[in-house]
Amino acid sequence: MTGADAAAPDAGESPSVRRVGDWDADRLADLAAEHGTPLYVQDLDRVRENCERLLAAFPGADVRYAVKAHTGRRVLEAVRDAGLDAECASAGEVDRALAAGFGGDRLHYTAVNPPARDLDYVVGVAEAEPDLTVTAGAVDTLDRLAERGYDGRVCVRVNPGVGAGHHEKVRTGGAAKFGIPYDRAADAARAAAERFDVVGIHAHAGSGIDPDQLDSHRELVARMGELARELTDPDPAGGAAGVGDAPAPLDLDYVDVGGGFGVPYEEDEPPLDLPAVAEATREAVAPLPAGVDLAVEPGRYVVADAGVLLTRVNTVKPTPDERVVGVDAGMTDLLRPAMYDAYHPIRNLGGGRGSDGGDAPAPEERGATAVTVAGPICETGDTLCRDRALADPVRGDLLAVGVAGAYGYEMASQYNSRPRPAEVALDDGTATVARRRERLADVTSTERAETATEPATEGGR
Ligand SMILES: Cc1ncc(COP(=O)(O)O)c(C=O)c1O
Ligand SMILES: N[C@@H](CCCC[NH3+])C(=O)O
């Protein structure tokens, strides 16, 4: 499905950024009181706004949501209804997208060194949903698909030799792990066309592309446009296509230039000028051969500022070097600060007790203090921020960690045998539990007697 098929959205109607200060503090406090902490809150209305802004910026393009950013069922349904396709990184994500109502024609599975059971599963799905597309970034992956009898829609993933992103660990373009090297991609795509229906080419620069990295994005897009023209050229080097040594032109449907559109995390960081990025993308890829659409696959942009993580202060510890504020959410709930030194804005919503046992003053009446906010995990790196000025936290305060809707719950783990947090979805103001809080029994559920007879090789599908 293309963005053009979806209900025509009005460009620029919603603000292009939602800051942690824009959330209704009383509502968040009520949700924390009702559901406990740590608690993710994901606002589906904001998800819809972000989808509409993307569709408006890329009219006529295929806009695919990178499911890995947030796989929650309610989010997937909202994205589906908004008219985006689903880009899935694993059999599990394909499974979730199917369950959320994406048909095969809206499913794109990007296989990265795919485990055998993922390929088995996806090839099985493709038998029922032949419009599903598999994006493959290695000839071995293509061979393994063919070995399973797959001869359906394939997109060839290219390593464009240029990348971007907020941290070296998330710069994908140029990383040898992803895609077929650019100078071998044309031959690989033509060879693939002898075994599959090659419908597209794909490259992804990386995640969290900042405004100052747009040149890399543009370069990637230009290279992909050039490759699309080369592959579809009916008259390569003036020779007769498909005759003698001249390669037959491919009938591509699209050139997918990936996702990675960044969002502002710091309070004073300007938002990405999405219409300008879209315009630069269209210019760089042009001219696209007739019948070849542009495709993009953003994840973060759709969900990041639609989510906050609520966490309660349980310890305040002045030390000679720093003031440590202990909270009940840690790297097992939100890994990004520990893994990438990522910045997430934090707002003190108050509600704690003063030293006299009475209600502490409202946060705006307190002075700002530089603090380290640290979680309950037995790792030194388990901090949500260091040396950050917050309205002086006291025990019992509620903190809202902003821009937590992308790669937040998704990267949560049970390390230290900590159950994963709960998540509440807000839909037109109504809150429902989208993912219940895990219990200790969930942490040990795979090692209980009744599961011991299951073969360890089965993924449980
Ligand atoms: C292949 C692919 N597509 C899309 C995305 C989405 O990236 P982002 O969430 O930064 O938009 C990713 C993640 O980096 C990816 O690996
Ligand atoms: N997990 C990363 C993004 C990786 C995107 C997937 N390739 C982050 O939180 O920024």
At 432-455, the pLDDT tens digits run 999 999 999 999 999 976 665 666
Question: How many whole angstroms from 233 Cα to the centroid of ligand 1?
Answer: 29
Q: What 8-state DSSP symbol labels residue 75?
A: H
Nearest to 274, CA basis, from 298, 294, 292: 298
Q: Is the CB of 264 under 6 A from ligand 1?
A: no
- Is pLDDT at 2 greater than 90 in this prediction? no
At residue 419, the pLDDT reads 98
264 is in an annotated binding site: no
- Percent of the chain at pLDDT > 70 equals 93
Q: What ligand is nearest to the CA atom of residue 67?
A: 1
- Is pLDDT at 138 greater than 90 in this prediction? yes
Give how far Cα 157 sits from Cα of 180, 183, 288, 319, 345, Å: 6, 12, 18, 52, 35
299 is in an annotated binding site: yes
Q: What mean pLDDT do residues 18-40 have?
A: 98
Question: How many whole angstroms from 375 Cα to the centroid of ligand 1?
Answer: 28
- Is pLDDT at 295 greater than 90 in this prediction? yes
Question: What confidence tier does 8 reach under pLDDT thresholds 50, 70, 90?
Answer: very low
CA atoms of 93 and 71, how far apart (whole Å) = 7
Which residues does a 6 A CB cutoff place in the pocket of ligand 2? 68, 170, 172, 207-208, 336, 407
User: What ipTM, to 2 d.p.?
Assistant: 0.99
- Is pLDDT at 34 greater than 70 in this prediction? yes
Contact call for residues 257 and 281 (beta carbons, < 8 A): yes
Helix (H, G, I), strand (E, B) or coil at 429: coil
Q: Which two tokens stand for residue 320?
A: 């000679």
CATH of domain 45-303: 3.20.20.10
Give how far Cα 287 sits from Cα of 120, 135, 198, 241, 355, Å: 38, 23, 20, 20, 67
Q: What mean pLDDT do residues 315-340 have?
A: 97
Whether omega before 114 lies within 30 degrees of 0, making that bond cis, reads no
- Is pLDDT at 12 greater than 60 in this prediction? no
CB atoms under 10 Å from CB of 204, counted, come to: 29
CA atoms of 194 and 188, how far apart (whole Å) = 10
Contact call for residues 414 and 51 (beta carbons, < 8 A): no
- Is pLDDT at 11 greater than 50 in this prediction? no
Q: Which two tokens stand for residue 178?
A: 């992803």
CA atoms of 260 and 72, how far apart (whole Å) = 20
Helix (H, G, I), strand (E, B) or coil at 324: strand
Residue 47 has φ and ψ, to the nearest 5°, of -60, -45
- Is pLDDT at 236 greater than 80 in this prediction? no
**Which residue minimizes the CA distance to atom 14 of ligand 1?**
207
Q: Which two tokens stand for residue 386?
A: 């260091």
Higher pLDDT, 458 or 251: 251
Residue 172 CA: nearest ligand 2 atom is: 7
Where in the chain are the domains? 45-303, 305-446
Q: Is the CB of 405 under 6 A from ligand 1?
A: no
- Is pLDDT at 373 greater than 90 in this prediction? yes
Mean pLDDT of the chain: 93
What is the sign, positive or negative, of the torsion defined by CA atoms of 423, 327, 26, 403? negative
Q: Is the CB of 216 under 6 A from ligand 1?
A: no
Contact call for residues 335 and 421 (beta carbons, < 8 A): no
Give how far Cα 381 sits from Cα of 112, 330, 335, 375, Å: 29, 10, 10, 9
Q: Is the CB of 349 under 6 A from ligand 1?
A: no
**Top CATH class, 305-446:** mainly beta
Query: CA-based diameter of the chain, in Å?
Result: 90
pLDDT tens, residue by residue, 258-287: 999 999 999 999 999 999 999 999 999 999
pLDDT tens, residue by residue, 153-197: 999 999 999 999 999 999 989 889 999 999 999 999 999 999 999
